[in-house]
Amino acid sequence: MKKFIVSLLAVVLVLSSTMLSFSSSTDQIEQFGSTDISASKAMTYEELIQYHADRNGLSFVEAEKEVNPDGVMNPPRTRARDLRYKVLSITLNVTSSYKPSLDLYVVADYWNSYWAIDHIYYVTMNRGYNGISKQFGGEIAVWNRGNNKIQYIVNGDFYNNGTTSAGVNVNIGVGEKASVGFSVSNSSNHYKYFYVSNTKTWAGN
């Protein structure tokens, strides 16, 4: 009888340990899907264009033509709730020493101390990281899943040398998707092939 009780206790302990281990693993997966995403301050349309101009060494007119060439991203009309522009940045862990970011220019709706993504209007990549800059050629797909969930796929190659094409203006409403391509001219010295498929949730900050 004692042997049976001891064996039963051992089984219970093993099962408890397994359940704790599984729970910990699940938590890590959930956390991974929600980290590495940050947001800029809320900006007006003019502030966003100036932000893009300053970041890329462009004039205001040049930046507006690059970000909003078709006028799709016009300043939103005044509504009861506050609409502003934000830049969401998602870290891309290419290597331990090089982590550029996927940058999305979005219109966000402010309601009850919370920002919610309305539309994604521009897809680009911040290729600078800790004084290092690479070139990227490949495809990026972005889904606006609603409830501040963004699904994305980045598939392409990084090079040490060359010139990367500019970002791409899009119009991704809730439940919609867009795929964009980036090209590299005069590319040389291949750095790394990179692929990631993930879904992240922005905290609405």
Q: What percent of the chain has pLDDT over 90?
A: 66
E-strand spans in 41-114?
82-91, 101-110
With CA atoms as reference, report the closest residue to 148 among 28, 29, 39.
39
Q: What is the mean pLDDT of the chain?
A: 83
Q: Is the pLDDT of residue 67 over 60?
A: yes
Whats the size of the chain, residue-wise? 205
What is the domain partition of the chain in residue ranges? 35-201
How would residue 1 be classed by pLDDT, with cut points 50, 70 and 90? low
The pLDDT, as a whole number, for residue 124 is 95
Q: Which residues are CB-neighbours of 37 under 8 A, at least 6 positions away?
A: 88, 89, 90, 91, 150, 200, 201, 202, 203
Per-residue pLDDT tens over the stretch 68-103: 998 888 765 555 457 899 999 999 999 999 999 999
